[in-house]
Structures are given as structure tokens and as C-alpha cells.
Amino acid sequence: MQDTIEKILEGNFNKGVRSLDFSDPVIELSLREGEDYEGSFTIFGPENEVTAGIVSSTRLRMRCLTERFSGPREEIQYFFDASGMMEGDVIKGEFRIISNQGEYYVPYDVRIVSGTLESELGSIKNLFHFANLARTNWEEAVGLFHSKEFERVFTGVDRQYLGIYKGLVKGSRRQQNVEEFLLEIKKKQKVQFLLEEAEIRMDNPGNMEEGRLIINRNGWGYSELFIEKEGDFLVLEKQVIRDEDFLGNCYRLPFYISEEQLHGGRNYGTIHLYNPYVSLTAQITVVNKSVTTKVFGMRRQHKHMIMELMQYYEAFRTRKISAALWMKETGELIDKMIQMDDHDLAAKLFQVQLLITEERYNEAQWLLEQASGQLEGEFAPTLYCYHLYLTTLLNRQEEYIDEVAGQVERIFTQNSDDWRIAWLLLYLAEDYTRSPSRKWIILEDQCMQGCKSPVIYIEAWNLILSNPTLLMKLAPFELQVLTYAAKKELLSPGVIEQIIYLAGKQKNYSRRLFFILKCCYKIVPTDEVLQAICTLLIKGNMTDEFAFPWYEKGIEKELRITRLYEYYMMSLKLTPDKEIPKIVLMYFAFDSNLDSLHNSFLYAYIHRNKAQYPELYESYREQIERFMVFQILKGKNNQYLAYLYKNLVTPMMITEETAKGLSVAIFMHRLTLMRKDIRKVILVYDKEKQEVVYPVTGGEVYIPVYGSDCRLLLEDGRGNRYCRGEEYIIDRLLVPDKIASMIAPYVADCIHFDLWLCEKGREMVQINENNVTYMKRITESDQVEVEVQREIKMKLIHFFYDQDRMKELDDYLKELSPAEIENRCFAQVVRFMVLRGMYEKAYDWIKLRGGEGIEAKLIVRLCSRLLAVEGMTEESTMTMLIFMAFKAGKYDENLLRYLCMYFKGTCKEMRDVWKAAEAFGVETYELCERILIQMLYTGAFVGEGADIFKKYISGGAKTEVELAFLSQSAYDYFVKDKVTSEFVLEDMQRVINRQEEIPLVCKLAYTKFYAENKKLVDEHISRCLLVFLREILMQKLCFPYFKEYADNIAFMRQFMDKTMVEYRVKDGNVAVIHYLMEKEEGAEGEYVKEEMKDMFGGVCVKEFILFFGEHLQYYITEIEDGKEYLTESGTLSRNDTVREQKENKYTMLNDISIGRNLHDYDTMESLLHEYFEQDYIVKELFHML
């Protein structure tokens, strides 16, 4: 900008015809919270000219990255810092462009908006729009739901669902999250799935034959279905059905039948379809008729007859029927079996045994011989051994029997798992018939190998019945036999006595033994049996409802069993109306090692019935309080503990340890789950950052819930989350207010409790002396949402200030950082800092976040104090802040002095500062100089420019600045035809008087001004005019105002007869005048074209000599870039009849012309005579030297 002086002094004036264009005349930005923005706009200057300048911003948040520019086109980079700003905040300001092409403002308007989510349906502004998107494009809605920007939707009434969203969006099942959310906010119904056929039958399918399960869908949304199947013969292509699988609202699920996995007859399988909201099962029946229906029926009938044979045998051996009846019924069944299949060898052998039993030996022998022929084919060990056994019934010789026994034993060795051969061996081998113990061993061995036949059980039971001492232990085999006997009601007192004896030695609980003992008690309801039952249940830690009646009977019988009373209480159904026997109450009067639930039930029962048992209650009291404190320390609660806490907790019990436990216990809720697959309970608190997760192992869980501003969600084993209330029942155990007030002073590390104390519904309460400590802790916790902490911090600041707790206020302000305060509260915090004298910190905050919203008078106080302490050092933030206050009309002498020293705004802005500084009497020399130089540089007009110049001159102006300003002012006056101040001419006169050379433009302006203001001319000015006019004429310049000097200056009389046309041409253009002389008798010739001479700075002049009666018509064209434009036209004439004051040759000729035109021939002749006479005299008397 300083080289402007030199350029002007060299004659390169600021010509004022200039302009800049901008790509963005107004910059409007809509940003989201926390979104910084970097952008640019372009400055376009005139072509073929050097354009340069500087750019600055009027707001601290908007920074110019490109502070200087040059060239015809320049991109200006800028950066907007939106940190801390919130939705609805607006920043308005301007970019100042100070250039050699003028001064400009580019306004900007920055608004923080909520931001909208875009989708194929347009902007998603609320949950109604989102639901429409989900209906139209489910996949896009799922993606949008899990995007970071989705939280913007939760505004207005939709804000209530933000907690639900925060909980669901963390779930791993993306589509189910959206489904659950839309269900919760009542924007959709569950998708229904219907099976067109719930039962499908397929007859004799080929291998991998396809079947179809048709699934119809009703509704839109989450459509995943998981598939499981039962039945090895079913083959599925996929395990999951998805939305895209449905054609319209129908999907045909293919399944295939594996023929290899089919057995003959009916094969049953299921296809199970499920998701978190639906469960469907289709029954698949495949009928494989690999055999004919008739054969299949015969086989089934054969099996039924075998079963009937076994039932009759069982009844016979257990003495339920007589031998005669057994033989009769068995004979009939065998006859039917043989009639059905005369090749049934087993049936024939059965018939042989029956005949032998009936002592019909000959018939038996004949049938046995016939059967022998059938055995010659494929070897069947069981039937062969059976055949040998039957031969011994007909041939009773010992040698033969021993031989057959040996043969059967050898076969059994190779088929040791065949119980039938083992059973035959029991009756063939003498070792087994004589030794019950060996017989027992072989029976046990068969049972251990998986035999479940009643035949074996009957043999074993008969052994026990005949000799109870064989029952030496209650091992699995013995228990199986005894269970069989108990079911068949075969138990006898002798055997029961042995069972009771052995049960007492059992170390572990056995469900079989419990069943046996129950059957024993039905037969022999003695105390011994009851004691055995109770003892066994206690060994198994049985506390289920089925055990309680036995414990109750044991107590009624006053049985002396260890821990009987404990197990009575633990199996007791915990209902308020249940009466506990006094003997039980007395048992626990001095000590109880029950679990916490049953102990709390017992103690609550005692307290409720203390009027009935006053002495007992007194003996319990210390124990109850000790138990209660122990539970408090663990933070436990249930419905019975809640009763105890409510009635027994006193301020005397409160310590830091008990308070910590109670801060959890008194908020405990009982949650009953409707779903069996839930594995986690999740709480999402509105004011906390992280969700709280509790594991679930059953259908009921106890969790602490602090207040109502939280959302409860459930998560199953697959990661699906549920938030709808229909999935659970939650019961509050205790109203916490009373106990909470007791423990509040002692609880120091439970942020949930602190928040509960400080909130009222969903809003934070006002800070007071009682809660200020909790409020401070909330602001220090890393668990609490930043927005909540910011709100409380502002409340704390106001509280400290209002309560005159200045030390706490100072300490709190010192620890604050800008990020901890909302932008809308920023100005308030800065205000408190300034009021408390924290000027440096307040100033640093403003540098980070800008000065928007801060009161102007506060800025004045801040900046004035900082300047007083740190001195007048230039700093951009300080300059901007002070000028902001100045524009608001707030300033003092200190700030004005700073602005005068450093402020560099537009000329008009600096003019305003100058005026205020002058009013305060502040030194303005430097400011004046900056204004004048900038006016010269930019060409900006300031109405007070002459006054500023005058003030500058009075302060001792720099010569080059003074001359430059005078030159530019002279140029504006002379070339641009602008009004100039008389002071400019006065100062020009002073420069002349100092005998300093002034530029030509000043001389031109000087001579023109006094030509127009002759009354101001004195003797000194006249001498200057003579000098300047001579210099101007020497440069062969002429201007219309020269005629004003023709009367008084001899060498200027040459312009008396001149008529001049003056025209100002645009810089670089050429002016051409076209003229035509007209006389009274008419026009003569054509228009003459002549280029006008550029006398100075585009002021073009053309001289003409016109006599009275002559008319000159003309028009002027201007040539620009090779093109000619008509710009001006007119007519000149000489019609004056007044004689000139100084007579000369021109005036005489003009008078002659006047006389001729007026037909005054006498005067004309007289003037002609005078003219020729004078012309002769001049020629004769005056000669060239």
C-alpha cells in the first residue's frame, strides 16, 4: 500500500473507475454441531490491470487463510470454527476486501442446524418419516438406523425415544433392532407368518424327492426366519429365510427326503421356523411302504402278542394270577401266533414248553422233533439254546443235562449280552441253581449290559424275597429291581426293613431310592421310613416343593435329623399367609445359617408377628439386625429384606460401609422375565454415557434401578434385544426416599445415587446447600453425559456467585475449560471470569471460541484492563474484540488509543474511529495517515477526508503523503470534475510558498480553481498563476477555462477568439470529434472527422473559431478495443453582440459579421475601413526582428 504514494507522485493516479466481482456476493453456511468448515470464494478483478489487496474478517470464528491477493483472479480460502456451537446458533459478519480496486464487504451468515438424514424418500426429519422409509426400503432404513447421524432425528416429542435407541443400536442383530424399535414406538405391527399346511404327508417318496412348505407373510419389516429340523430323513437347503427370499409375501421352503434314512412305515419329522417374535412348527410325515400293509399289520400284531405273553408271565411269576390261568391264556396266544405264521419257530418252542408244563410230554416230544428240522438252517443262538433247554425238560438224565448246560454255557460265552441265553443258563447249570449269589451276579451283569426285561427283574426280586440278606447294597442294579418291585407293589415288610437299613448308609441322593422309599412309606408308614426319606432328601439338598411335605411331616413327628429345620425353611413356599410352626421359630431363635432369601423371610415373619411372639422377637432382634447389616454391606435386597429395611433401618446404623450398600439395596427392583431365553438385562440411563449390564441365569433377577429416566432392555443368547414392557414385569421393592436421606452424606462413589438425588423426574433440580456436593461429583464423573455436566456446571457457577462463595467460584472457574461449557453459556462464563478479574483466562477463552454474545461493556472492561497491564502491543484478537465493542458504541480512551494505533479496517470504519478519538482528544496522527494512504490506495471516498487531511497536516505531515494526497485531490477535481475542498488549495498554496515543486496536475487544478473563483485571487496567487499558466502553455495544453484569464493576462488573450469542446475520455480510449460548420445560407460540405487531443488524464479539447451567426454541429465517438461508440453530440454557435472589453482583430471581424447579419451596412463599412486601416498600420510599423 505504501508504493501508492510513489505511483501517484509519478502521475499514476487512482482513477476511480474500477470494480471487483465475487463468486459469492453473500456466503451462507448451514453447518452441523461441531462441524468445522473450510471454504473459499473467488475475487475477479478487471483484466489487463494489476489487482491487489488484503482480506480480513469481522468475526473471530471466521478466519481468512488467504489474507493477501494479487492478480485478476484469486481464490480466498477461509475457515470457520464451529467448536462448541449448538443447533440454532447464528454468526453474522463480513469479509473486508481492501484493494486498489476499491473497498468491499462480502457478508457471511453461518447457522448451526440439526442436519437432516437423506434417503430415497427425501429428508428424514422425524420418526414418522423414518417409519415410512422402513416400510418402503427396509434395508436402507436398517443402515440409516445404525449410522452415527441417526440421533439427529430425536427432536421434539421424539426425544423420549432416544434412550431406547441408544440401547437397541448396540445390539448385534441389526434388523431385529429396527423391528423392536418400531414396535416400541407404535409405528408398526409384528410381521405375521402363517403356514399354508401345518401337517404335510408324503407317501413312498423317491430318493431326494422335493417337498414344499409354503410360508405366507402378513406385514412388513423384520422377516428373518431361522430353520431347524428334526428327523434324519429331512434335508434342507438353507438355515435362514430372509426378506429377499419372499416373492411378494410368500415363500416356498424346499425340503428333500433322504430315502436311505427312512424306515418302513411312518417316519415323523418336524421343520421348526422361528425368530424373536414367532415360532412355527410343521409336522412332516413320510409313509414308506417298503413292505405290504398286510405284512406290516402282521408284524405289529405279532409284537403285541409277544408283549401279552410277557405280561401274563409277569403276572404269573408275581403271583397275580394262577398257573392254570397263565397256561390257558398263554396257550391261546401261542396258537394264534402259529396260525398267523406256521414257520414261527419261537412260537412252536413256546408251545412245546407249555405242553411240557401241562405234562403232555408225547405231544411236546413230537413238536420238538418237528422244530428241530427248522433249526438246521441259519444258526440262531437264542432259539438253539432254547431248543436244548426244552430237550432237558424231556430228558432228565443228569449226564445229558450237564452236557446241554456245558453246550449252552459255551454259546453264552460268545453271546454274553443275550439275557435270554443267560436266563436259560440259570435253570440248566447246577452252579447257578444251587448258588443264589452266583445267580444274582449273572442277573446283575445282564442288567448292567442294558437288559430291561421284566424276566430278569422278576428273577432278581424272587431272590431278594426268598433271602433279603442278598440285598447288601443299593447299587444301580438293586435300585432297578426295587423300583420294579415298588411299581408292581411287591415290596414286603422284611425287604422294606433291609431297604431302610441300607438307605441310611447312602451318601448321595438317588431319585430311584426316593421313589422306593415313598412306596415303602405307603406300605409301612413308620417314623423309621419317614426319617430315611427326610435324610435322603437332605443329602440331595432337595428344597423343591415336592420335598416340603416330607420335612413338614418330619417336624410334626419331631424327628431328630440334622438340618431338618433348615431344609424345612428352604423348601417352604414363601407366601405371606404361610404359618410357621413355633418349634421352627424357636429352633432359629439364636442362630440361623439359612440362605439370605429364607433368612429374610423368616425375620420378616418374626417382625410381622412380634405381637404374637414378643419374647421370641426379643431373642431374634439382635440376630435380625446383624443379618440385616450383613445384607446391607453386600447391597442385597428382596421383598422381605425391603420390609426389614423399611421398618428397622435407623440413622444409628448408617456408616460409610452400610451407606454404600444401601445406595444399591434401596433401589433394587425385582424383574420377572416372560421369555426363557434372556441372558442379559440392560439399563440405559438418559444422563449416563454407558449402558449398565446385568447377567441373567433364571426367570427372575434383582437389579438396582435409579429413578425413572432410564430404559430397560433385555438381550437373549443370540444377541437380540427387546425393550417392550410386555417382555417383563418389574416391581419396586422399596420407596427409597426415607433411607436415601439418611445415607446421602455418607455415599461418595455412586454416580447413579448422586444423579438420583439431584434430579426431579427427567430434569435436574436447582442447586442448594444440601446438594451442591453431589452436583460437583456429577460434573467430575466420566460416566455422565457431557450435556448434563455442562448444565450443572453453569448452575454451580451461578450458585457460587449468588451465595457469595467467591473462593469456590474462583477455584471452579480456574479449573474450567471451554469444552466443558455449552456455547449458549459461554458468554456468561466469560462474564464471571471478567468480574472475578481472570482477564487472561477470559481472553484465552475468547480466542478459542470467539466473542459472540459477550456484552460490549464487558469487552471494554476486559480489554482495557489487559492493555493497562500488558501495554499497547498489537494482537489480532484484541483488535477485533475492541472494534466489536466500538461498533456497539462502547469504548474508552484506552481502547480508542489502541484502535488509532493498530486498527486497519475500511476507510469508513477508520473514519468512525477517528471521529470518536477526536471527541476524546486522543492522538490520531497515525490513524489519519493510514486513512489518507488507504483512500489513495483504494479510491474510497470519505466525506470527512478533507478534515482528516487537515488534522494530519496540523500534526506535521510527511511531505510525500501530503503531495500525493494533494495530487490525487487535484486529479479528482481537474480530471474527474469532483468538488474539492478549499483547504486543499490552501495547503497547495503552503507547499508552493515553501518553494516546493508541485506536480503538473496540481498546477492545472490550481489554475482551474482560481479561474472559477476569481474573487479569491490576490496578488500572490496572481504571480503563481502567471508562472503556472506559462508552464502549461509551454506544454501546448489548452482548456476552456483559459478564456477566463484572457482579459487580465496578455499572453492568454490568444484564447479569446477560441470556442472549445471539452470531453473526458475513458482511460486508454480515443475520442474522435465529427463536426459540420453551418452558416446562415445553410450547411457547407460534410462532417469533418478529427481525433481530439488528450490534453491531460483523458481531458480532450478541440478548438474552433466561430463568428457571429456561425453554427457548428458535432458529435463525439469513443474508440474502445477497436470499436467506435457514439457518446456525445451538440451544437456550438457565436451569437453574442456585446463587444469585448479588449478590442482585437477577432472582435473587429466578429462585429463586421454582426453588422452584415443585421443589415447595418453603414456600421459594417465603417468597421471594414477601420479593420483595413489597422491592418495596414500594423504591417508597415511592426516588423519581425
66, exposed or middle or buried, with CB in 10 Å at 0-12, 13-18, 19+? middle
Domain count, the chain: 6
> What's the farthest any 2 CA atoms get from each other in the chain?
204
> What tens digit of pLDDT does each residue of 491-511 get?
999 899 999 999 989 889 999
Answer whether residue 351 is part of any domain.
no
Answer whether residue 894 is part of any domain.
yes
Mean pLDDT, residues 8-32: 86
Confidence band, pLDDT 50/70/90 cuts, at residue 354: confident
The grid cell for 613 is: 411372639
893 and 1007 belong to one structural domain: yes
Q: How far is CA 555 from the centre of its chain?
A: 62
- Would you state the pLDDT for residue 1083? 54
- For residue 1151, give every residue at least 6 positions away whose Cβ sits within 8 Å of its Cβ, in sequence order, or none: 1139, 1163, 1167
473, exposed or middle or buried, with CB in 10 Å at 0-12, 13-18, 19+? exposed
Residue 241: how many CA atoms within 13 Å on its side-chain side? 26
Residue with the bigger pLDDT between 1058 and 701: it is: 701
Q: Which of 224, 216, 218 is nearest to 178 (CA)?
A: 224
1059, exposed or middle or buried, with CB in 10 Å at 0-12, 13-18, 19+? middle
According to DSSP, the β-strands at 27-31 and 102-112 are: parallel
Answer whether residue 764 is part of any domain.
yes
Q: Which residue has the cell 405280561?
A: 311
Share of the chain above pLDDT 90, in %: 53
Answer whether residue 676 is part of any domain.
no
Say if residue 78's pLDDT is above 50. yes
Residue 637: how many CA atoms within 13 Å on its side-chain side? 27
According to DSSP, the β-strands at 759-760 and 763-764 are: antiparallel
**Final residue before a domain boundary, out of 184, 214, 238:** 184
Q: Mean pLDDT over all residues of the chain?
A: 88
Answer whether residue 284 is part of any domain.
yes
> What tens digit of pLDDT does each residue of 568-602 get?
999 999 888 889 999 999 999 888 889 999 999 99
Eight-class DSSP state of 765: P
- For residue 57, give every residue at least 6 positions away whose Cβ sits within 8 Å of its Cβ, in sequence order, or none: 63, 64, 78, 93, 94, 95, 96
Confidence band, pLDDT 50/70/90 cuts, at residue 896: very high
Confidence band, pLDDT 50/70/90 cuts, at residue 1140: very low
- Would you state the pLDDT for residue 1141? 45
Q: 119 has which bridge partners? A: 122
Share of the chain above pLDDT 70, in %: 94
Confidence band, pLDDT 50/70/90 cuts, at residue 1160: low
Q: Mean pLDDT check: name the lowest of 498-507, 853-862, 1071-1080.
A: 1071-1080
Q: How far is CA 39 from the centre of its chain?
A: 26
Report the distance separating Cα 412 and Cα 414, nearest Å.
Answer: 5
Q: Which residue has the cell 433411607?
A: 739
Say if residue 297's pLDDT is above 70. no
792 and 770 belong to one structural domain: yes
Report the distance separating Cα 334 and Cα 337, nearest Å.
Answer: 5
Mean pLDDT, residues 652-658: 93
Q: CA 738, 743, 749: angle at the middle one, nearest 5?
A: 135
907 and 1006 belong to one structural domain: yes
**Final residue before a domain boundary, out of 112, 133, 167:** 112
> What tens digit of pLDDT does each residue of 32-41 get?
888 899 999 9
Confidence band, pLDDT 50/70/90 cuts, at residue 1167: low
- Would you state the pLDDT for residue 1082? 56
833 and 970 belong to one structural domain: yes
Report the distance separating Cα 110 and Cα 453, nearest Å.
Answer: 92
Q: How far is CA 715 from the centre of its chain?
A: 20
Answer whether residue 55 is part of any domain.
yes
- Would you state the pLDDT for residue 368? 84
> What tens digit of pLDDT does each residue of 900-948 get?
999 999 999 999 999 999 999 999 999 999 999 999 898 888 889 899 9
688, exposed or middle or buried, with CB in 10 Å at 0-12, 13-18, 19+? buried
Report the distance separating Cα 29 and Cα 115, nearest Å.
Answer: 12
SS3 627: helix
Q: Tell me the Ramachandran region of residue 985: left when phi exceeds 0, alpha when psi lies from -120 to 50, beta otherwise.
A: alpha
Q: 278: part of which helix (H) or strand (E)?
A: strand 278-288
37 and 78 belong to one structural domain: yes
Mean pLDDT, residues 114-126: 84
1010 and 1086 belong to one structural domain: no
Answer whether residue 941 is part of any domain.
yes
SS3 406: helix
The CATH number of whichever domain residue 242 belongs to comes to 2.60.40.10
Measured from the Cβ of residue 774, the count of other Cβ atoms closer than 10 Å reads 20
The CATH number of whichever domain residue 1121 belongs to comes to 2.60.40
896 and 959 belong to one structural domain: yes
Confidence band, pLDDT 50/70/90 cuts, at residue 872: confident
Say if residue 987's pLDDT is above 80. yes
Say if residue 686's pLDDT is above 80. yes
- Would you state the pLDDT for residue 377? 66
1001 and 1015 belong to one structural domain: yes
Confidence band, pLDDT 50/70/90 cuts, at residue 316: confident
What does the buried/exposed string (b/e) look like for 845-874 if buried means 16 or more CB atoms within 10 Å of the residue's CB?
Answer: bbbbbbbbbbebebbbbbbbbbbeeeeeee
Eight-class DSSP state of 130: H
Residue 889: how many CA atoms within 13 Å on its side-chain side? 0
Say if residue 1183's pLDDT is above 90. no
- Would you state the pLDDT for residue 1136? 47
Report the distance separating Cα 785 and Cα 762, nearest Å.
Answer: 14
10 and 91 belong to one structural domain: yes
- Would you state the pLDDT for residue 1084? 59
Q: Which of 499, 542, 547 is nearest to 519 (CA)?
A: 499
- For residue 1036, give every residue at least 6 positions away whose Cβ sits within 8 Å of its Cβ, in sequence order, or none: none
Say if residue 74's pLDDT is above 90. yes
Say if residue 292's pLDDT is above 60. no
> What tens digit of pLDDT does each residue of 668-682 get?
999 999 999 999 999
Report the distance separating Cα 166 and Cα 727, nearest Å.
Answer: 19
128 and 221 belong to one structural domain: no
- For residue 791, give every residue at least 6 positions away whose Cβ sits within 8 Å of its Cβ, in sequence order, or none: 764, 822
First-to-last CA distance in the chain?
Answer: 56
The grid cell for 436 is: 443264589
Say if residue 1043's pLDDT is above 70. yes
Mean pLDDT, residues 107-134: 89
Report the distance separating Cα 845 and Cα 829, nearest Å.
Answer: 10
pTM of the complete model: 0.73
Confidence band, pLDDT 50/70/90 cuts, at residue 1158: low
What does the buried/exposed string (b/e) look like for 601-625 if buried means 16 or more CB atoms within 10 Å of the residue's CB?
Answer: bbbbbbbeeeeebeebbebbeebbb
Residue with the bigger pLDDT between 1182 and 741: it is: 741
Sign of the torsion angle spanned by Cα atoms 854, 856, 858, 864: positive
Residue 796 is part of which domain span? 750-815
Answer whether residue 857 is part of any domain.
yes
Q: Which of 417, 302, 395 is nearest to 387 (CA)?
A: 395
Report the distance separating Cα 267 and Cα 257, nearest Å.
Answer: 11
Say if residue 49's pLDDT is above 90. no
DSSP H helical ranges for 44-137: 127-136
Mean pLDDT, residues 595-623: 93
Report the distance separating Cα 237 and Cα 255, nearest Å.
Answer: 7
Q: Which of 925, 968, 873, 852 is nearest to 12 (CA)?
A: 968
**Final residue before a domain boundary, out of 288, 318, 347:** 288
929 and 1037 belong to one structural domain: yes
1180, 1091 contact by CB (below 8 A)? no
Mean pLDDT, residues 792-810: 92
1005 and 1111 belong to one structural domain: no
The grid cell for 65 is: 487463510
SS3 429: coil
Write the DSSP string, 223-244. --EEEEEE-TTEEES-SEE-GG
The grid cell for 90 is: 447464528
- Would you state the pLDDT for residue 1138? 43
